[in-house]
Amino acid sequence: MNRTFLVCSAVLAVLGFTMLIGALKAQPHPSPAPAAMAAPAAAPVVVAAPAPQRQERHPEIHAAIRNLEEARGHLEAAAHDFGGHRVKAIEHTNKALEECREALRFDR
Whole-number pLDDT of residue 108: 75
3-state secondary structure the chain: CHHHHHHHHHHHHHHHHHHHHHHHHCCCCCCCCHHHHHCCCCCCCCCCCCCCCCCCCCHHHHHHHHHHHHHHHHHHHCCCCCCCHHHHHHHHHHHHHHHHHHHHHHHC
pLDDT for the residue 107: 83
What's the pLDDT score for residue 78? Answer: 94
pLDDT value of residue 63: 96
* pLDDT 10s digits, 30-83: 555 555 455 555 556 666 666 666 667 899 999 999 999 999 999 999 988 899
